[in-house]
Amino acid sequence: MSENPQPLGGNQMPRFGGIATFMRLPGTTPLEELDVAVVGVPFDLGTSNRPGARYGPRDMRAESVLLRPYNMATRAAPFDSLRIDDTGDVATNAFNIFDSIERITAHYDELLAHDVIPITMGGDHTIALPILRAIAKKHGPVGMVHIDAHTDINDTMFGEKIAHGTPFRRAVEENLLDGPRVVQIGMRGTGYAADDFDWSREQGFRVVQVEECWHRSLEPLMAEVREQVAGGPVYISFDIDGLDPSFAPGTGTPEVGGLTVPQALEIIRGCRGLDIVGGDLVEVAPIYDTSGLTSLTGANLLYEMMCVLPGVEYRD
C-alpha cells in the first residue's frame, strides 16, 4: 500500500461507521498534496422540475462506503497511483443562483491553481457552467463526453439564461468547449420542437440518441468517441438521468428508455487514455429513491472516472 491517502477499509472501521467522506477517504489532505479532489456542489436552484439534487453529495458519500479501492474489472489502482481525497463542499448560496455560480467558479479556480483534477458530486447540471469556466481558464476550450437524456443546450428556460437545461449553450457562447471534440450520449424523450438536437450538431457536437445505444455494447461507439475527442483536454459530464429511471429513479427529470448501468461503465471505461482534466456526476436527487440505488450508482460511476484519469496504474 502506498503512502497516498487511502479509503478507510471495512476491516478497520465497519462500513456503517465513521465520518461520511467519499469512499471514507481521510478528508484532511491539503490541496498542495493532492492530484485529485473529490468535491461536492450541493446546489439545485437551477432545476426545472423536481428539486433535491442539493442532497446528492451527502447521499453519494453515504452510499460510497461500500466501494473498495481496486477495480476488479479494469485492474485500476487509483489510490495507489494518485493522491486523492474528498476536499468537501462548495459553500453555495441557497438564496441566490448567480452568487452560487460565482462561488463555484472561485472554488474551482482555487482547486485548479493547485493542479488538482476535480471530480465533482452534484448538484444539478447548472454547475457544469461555472466549473467549465474555471477549467477553460486553465486549459482552454475542452472536449467533452456528456452523458444525459437531455442536450442541455436551451437558450433560455422560462426566460432565464442560467438553469440546468442551458449550461452547454452558455459554454459554447463563452468558448469553453471545443465543439468538434464534444459528444453527447443518451439523448431522448420528448422535445419542445422537432429540431431540439440540431443546435448541438451545428456546433460540431456528435449527438448519439439513445436508440443508437439500445440492445448493444457501447465499446465500438467509445472507440469512435476516443478518436473524436482525443488531441486535447477532455471533461466528462455525467447526468444520472442518462441512465434508465429503473436504474436511477432518484433524479428530477427522468426519461424512459435510457442507458443501462453496464453501458454507463463501458462509456466511462472507454475514456481511458484521454487527457481527462475533470469530471462530474450530477442530478442525483436521492429523495425520490428510497433504496439508495441512484446514489450508489452515482458513487460507483465517480469511482470509475477516477480509474481512467491520467497517471492511473493498472495491475497485471
Q: Which residues bind Mn ion (CB under 5 A)?
A: 125, 148-150, 152, 239, 241
The residue (of 23 and 53) whose beta carbon lies closer to Mn ion is: 53
The residue (of 148 and 280) whose beta carbon lies closer to Mn ion is: 148
Smallest gap from Cβ 299 to Mn ion, in A, equals 18
The residue (of 71 and 120) whose beta carbon lies closer to Mn ion is: 120
DSSP state of 95: T
- State the virtual CA torsion across 92, 255, 135, 179 in degrees, nearest 10: -150
The residue (of 86 and 152) whose beta carbon lies closer to Mn ion is: 152
Mutual orientation of helices 261-269 and 219-229 as an angle, nearest 10°? 40
For residue 314, what are the CA distances in angstroms to 69, 307, 310? 12, 9, 11
Non-local (6+) Cβ contacts of 234 within 8 A are: 142, 143, 144, 145, 181, 271, 274, 275, 276, 277
Smallest gap from Cβ 1 to Mn ion, in A, equals 38
The residue (of 5 and 56) whose beta carbon lies closer to Mn ion is: 56
Smallest gap from Cβ 150 to Mn ion, in A, equals 4
Smallest gap from Cβ 36 to Mn ion, in A, equals 23
Rg (Cα) of the chain, in Å, rounded? 18
115's grid cell: 493542479
Smallest gap from Cβ 196 to Mn ion, in A, equals 13
Q: How far apart are CA 303 and CA 265, in angstroms?
A: 10
